[in-house]
Structure 1
Amino acid sequence: MARFNLLRSKAAPTSPAAPTSPASPVRSTGRRAANAHGSTGFLRDPRSELFLLAVANFVTQQTAYESGEARDGRFGALVRTLAVEDPEWTAGLLGWLRRDGNMRTASLVGAVEYVKARLDAGATGGPSNRQVVDSVLLRADEPGELLAYWTAAYGRNVPKPVKRGIADAVRRLYSAGSLLKYDTASRGYRFGDVLNLVHASPDPAKPWQGELFRHALDRRHNPETAEVPPGNRTLLAHRTLMELPVAERRAVVTAADGPERLAAAGMTWEALAGWLQGPMDAAAWEAVIPSMGAMALLRNLRNFDQAGVSDEVAARVAAKISDPETVARARQFPFRYLAAYQHAPSLRWAYPLERALGHSLAHVPALPGRTLVLVDRSGSMWSPLSDRSQLNRADAAAVFGTALALRAGDADLVQFGSTSKAVDHRHGESVLKILERFENLGGTYTAEAVRTHYAGHDRVLIVTDEQATYAYGGDPTALVPDTVPVYTWNLAGYRVGHAPSGSAHRHTFGGLTDAAFRMVSLIEDGRDAGWPWETGRADTAA
């Protein structure tokens, strides 16, 4: 969803020495500072701070303890510093963040700040500014989104590396289907505006793209007279549908070839609702469902039920959203499947969503021995992830914690806040059903939860925002023997951590996907865990 490219938006230190193995990349500096509760916590080096913030940062959104402005300012400052001091690492982070980390807006903002800092500093060497811009643009609406952020932050003078990086992405991403989907009047930068600014030449391997670019310019500047390219089947099919009288349109969706005609014309479900100028009944949904992507299907399960979509069509939807390859390509946050489960009224979606959730957590390790999993359910975890979402970090923590517990050989699953309690679970049980047993438990007495529930376990995993109240126990990892690994999974990216990290057996990771969980398996195998995007990542991390 666009955050910057709206109609109104147009214009305007050295890390500590590596610890003994097995080591993890997120490292404390040895310095202390107050956390959100005024308790003394642990500071991390700039790379570690940026990584944990980036993988949890929904740009422009406030959190329980940090305003959106302060959070974005800290993010931008860290990127600008490290873009100059460590460009290889920063470029690697930004590319990985957009792909495996699935943090779309943060990666776009990060790329802009990277380029601005390096241009201001006159920095040379390392990944080119052009390459970094291109690496974070994976969807056809994102070139306009990045331009909108640049011009809002730094004015209309867009430097050549930004233009060239966007032009590279435009050649990859612009097609007839993406034009119909994303080139709308609500955007401050339409496809034609982007082409005017960056002067992208068509991809020689796509002979149809030149005509498409000209059409994008025409429909932006002369919408009443813009001609559809005669050789573009998708745009021609779309024009044919748009020219049908309203009274004849519903007959298209009920016809035997209706789904094929809608797909050939690049008709999205959002566009179909307006085109019909009437309700999205079962027939309308059943005609467009075959061409809908997995995420669009996931968001509309409730609408399918309310419209009365047939069981046969619902079975095809269920098969698609739970297909492991489809889930892998969709790269959705695991808690999106929990949200769909909570909002879809029909039980026919429960099992497919359970399977999809499992596929989205493929990198959560199966740990041998005894494991204590502590899930933070304190008040600060309940604020929405964004102002357009009811999803929260408390539920994300419960998803990860439950998945860890179910895959471990022998696990104690505990939820904690100002009090703590065990969460009943058994192997083979539904993750979604177990999640219903979690509660809101108030304050963040992490150390007290460790003291109460640690009983000689082989490892401890704490899923939290790290803002512990030290009056109730201090550093929670100090209560576990030095020889026992403690893994903190950070879901918020605040500056101050609740414990040291980077030394042997004390590790911090983070994010809202399962990507970096691969690091845990490396450490359990006695190997160092590097950053997820480093060379040889198939054998290292995400």
Structure 2
Amino acid sequence: MTRFNTRTARAQPVSPVASTGRVLRTREGGRGHERDARSELFLLAVSHFVSQQTFYESGAARDGRFEELVRELAVSDPFWTAGLLGWLRGEGNIRTAAVVGAAEYVKARLDAGAVDGPANRQVVAGVLQRPDEPGELLAYWTSTYGRAVPKPVKRGIADAVRRLYTGRALLKYDTASRGYRFGDILNLVHAAPDPDKPWQGELFRYALDRRHRPESAVPPESDRLLTAHRALMALPVAERRAVVTSPGGAERLAAAGMTWEALAGWLQGPMDKAAWEAVIPSMGTMALVRNLRNFDEAGVSDEVAAQVAARISDPAEVARSRQFPFRCLAAHQHAPSLRWAYPLEQALRHSLANVPALAGRTLVLVDRSGSMFRSRLSDRSQLDRADAAAVFGTAVALRAQHADLVEFGTSSNAVPFRKGESALRVLGRFGDLGGTDTTEAVRRHYRRHDRVLIVTDEQYAPHRHGDPTEQVPAHVPVYTWNLAGHRAGHGPSGRGNRHTFGGLTDAAFRMVSLLESARDADWPWLHDRDADRPADAVAR
């Protein structure tokens, strides 16, 4: 009798975040599942804002676990680790963890004498994507390992300096608040100007003069932005507000590289309506989103507000600025005017462009337990992981063909919504539900759905019926979206219709489409290259 070779036989896809089979305990005492080192590092990295603690784990403990995993895999699996770090700073949009990871990657490989894998210099240069990041990496290295900076680190930083340093970058990031000024970095790494940028030599000399001889530093005449900025700074304070209110004031501020952060100091007075309206045209999309409340309090006109709304809701601008979806929620919560509600709704949808329209019936469970509320995303953010979970869960439910949206903690409740409804309005219906009884939430709400998606930190309490994924038949996919990166998972992962993703962007959702088309899903920096290949040609 044929047991396996039947017409309904199909390959079971696998995903990269994999369990080892070893049983651990979650922080709440539930039966947990250990993940292999690569999976643990990935989930920690995509949710890790360095030095930020969670409810269950101190910032120092998370930092130590992250650094230990990077050092281990930098030696045992350098190609994978270098790929992770590059993706983390690029598409993952996680800045500090990528910088710290690159430093630890180099240190581990130098200590081990490793010569295989990507060059240390290349890894360092690859994670430095913003002009202030060479100084960040140097400050981390010297504060951790002392003033002796190895050549691969210096050379990688020098490569980044040639790529990133411009007059505009100098004005924005070369400030007295930095431990390492641009001149200090140039002295330490001995970066030569880029041969294809003939103006960079003069810029480097000016950066050195600003650091060591500020009283006699004169910007190069070839740099119009720097000379225009110098002219503005030379104006008497009594004449500066007239620049802001003049017909060409906005253009003059932009030509001089005047940022909104610097404008109040230059004016030596309040950021009133005229000041904001003069600087808004030259502000970036992320800065606009962060300052909506300030615009309202200053009384910015409806005409200027309409220009702001058009920019923050433009799909190309949202993609270019790489906004995290939850930043739209933060702005919506803190901006008092209703004139921003629809533009922010559009921006949120654009930032979640990869969310698939799942066919059939989908159960979406969103963790609203105490540990999710007591873990802020960063010291500078008022949002917590509970808010991030609600954003992602709501986005999936709104796009799905048929979805049941549920919030859970000690208890669980259905969250009502209508197709086409505003995601920001739905988010206001979520509450705070105490403990973490994920298993009971699945048991109560699973009704022959085609798939289950759980957005959580995975730290569920023990339950006599077992882990949450055991409550769903084996042939039904269960996708866990981990937002905290703790060591123990609430269920197995990697095969058998049990898969775990992670991160604060929507990039992982692309894996759902791959898995449901019976194709293996690889790490995010690897699976895109196979996107157009036949399913049977995708290699693990």
- The interval holding the TM-score normalised by the smaller chain is over 0.9
Q: Which residue of 2 aligns with 1:461?
A: 453
2:314 is aligned with 1:318: no
1:414 is paired with a residue of what secondary structure? strand
Q: Contact (CA 8 Å) 2:369, 2:433: kept in 1 or not?
A: yes
The one of 223, 226, 233 equivalent to 1:235 is: 226
Q: Measure the CA separation in 1 of the matches of 2:435 and 2:75.
A: 40
2:163 is aligned with 1:172: yes
2:340 is aligned with 1:356: no
Q: Measure the CA separation in 2 of the matches of 1:38 and 1:328.
A: 41
Q: Contact (CA 8 Å) 1:445, 1:472: kept in 2 or not?
A: no
Aligned 1:461-480 pairs, distance under 5 A: 461-471=453-463, 473-480=465-472
Q: Measure the CA separation in 1 of the matches of 2:56 and 2:152.
A: 36
Q: Contact (CA 8 Å) 1:28, 1:501: kept in 2 or not?
A: yes
Q: Contact (CA 8 Å) 1:461, 1:489: kept in 2 or not?
A: yes
The one of 400, 405, 415 equivalent to 1:413 is: 405
Q: Which residue of 2 aligns with 1:7?
A: none
The one of 425, 438, 453 equivalent to 2:417 is: 425
2:385 is aligned with 1:393: yes
Aligned 1:81-480 pairs, distance under 5 A: 81-383=72-374, 384-471=376-463, 473-480=465-472
* Deviations 1:179-231 (CA, angstroms, capped at 9, x unpaired): 00000000000000110111111111111111000000000011111111121
Runs of at least 4 residues off by over 4 Å: none
Aligned residue-pair number: 523
2:473 is paired with a residue of what secondary structure? coil
Question: Offset of 1:526 from its aligned partner?
Answer: 1.1
2:525 is paired with a residue of what secondary structure? coil
Question: Offset of 1:351 from its aligned partner?
Answer: 0.2
2:116 is paired with a residue of what secondary structure? coil
Q: Flag structure 2 segments of 5+ consecutive residues without an equivalent.
A: 1-9, 533-537
Opposite residue 440 of structure 1, the aligned amino acid is: D
Q: Tell me the percent identity.
A: 75
The 3 A distance-change label for structure 1 pair 537 and 470 is farther
Q: Contact (CA 8 Å) 2:29, 2:460: kept in 1 or not?
A: no
The one of 505, 508, 515 equivalent to 2:500 is: 508
Q: Contact (CA 8 Å) 2:27, 2:459: kept in 1 or not?
A: yes
The 3 A distance-change label for structure 1 pair 155 and 521 is same
Question: Offset of 1:537 from its aligned partner?
Answer: 3.6
Opposite residue 358 of structure 2, the aligned amino acid is: L
Question: Offset of 1:516 from its aligned partner?
Answer: 1.4
Q: Which residue of 2 aligns with 1:517?
A: 509
1:526 is paired with a residue of what secondary structure? coil
Question: Offset of 1:472 from its aligned partner?
Answer: 5.7
Q: Measure the CA separation in 1 of the matches of 2:303 and 2:66.
A: 48
TM-score between both structures, scaled by the size of structure 1: 0.95
Q: Which residue of 2 aligns with 1:16?
A: none
| CA RMSD between the two structures | 1.2
Opposite residue 289 of structure 2, the aligned amino acid is: L
Q: Which residue of 1 aligns with 2:531?
A: 539
The 3 A distance-change label for structure 1 pair 537 and 443 is farther
Q: Measure the CA separation in 2 of the matches of 1:20 and 1:76.
A: 37
Opposite residue 102 of structure 1, the aligned amino acid is: N
Question: Offset of 1:36 from its aligned partner?
Answer: 0.6
Of 246-255 and 367-376, more deviation after overlay is shown by 246-255
The 3 A distance-change label for structure 1 pair 535 and 411 is closer
Opposite residue 146 of structure 1, the aligned amino acid is: L
Opposite residue 356 of structure 1, the aligned amino acid is: A
Question: Offset of 1:346 from its aligned partner?
Answer: 0.3
Q: Measure the CA separation in 2 of the matches of 1:455 and 1:25.
A: 28
The 3 A distance-change label for structure 1 pair 318 and 241 is same
Question: Offset of 1:34 from its aligned partner?
Answer: 1.4
TM-score between both structures, scaled by the size of structure 2: 0.96
Q: Measure the CA separation in 2 of the matches of 1:224 and 1:354.
A: 49
Q: Measure the CA separation in 2 of the matches of 1:386 and 1:238.
A: 33
* Deviations 1:488-536 (CA, angstroms, capped at 9, x unpaired): 0000000000000011210000001111111111111110000000164
Question: Offset of 1:300 from its aligned partner?
Answer: 0.5
The one of 474, 480, 505 equivalent to 1:482 is: 474
Opposite residue 283 of structure 1, the aligned amino acid is: A
1:386 is paired with a residue of what secondary structure? coil
The 3 A distance-change label for structure 1 pair 538 and 317 is farther
The 3 A distance-change label for structure 1 pair 46 and 20 is farther
Q: Measure the CA separation in 2 of the matches of 1:444 and 1:537.
A: 38
Q: Measure the CA separation in 1 of the matches of 2:263 and 2:512.
A: 46
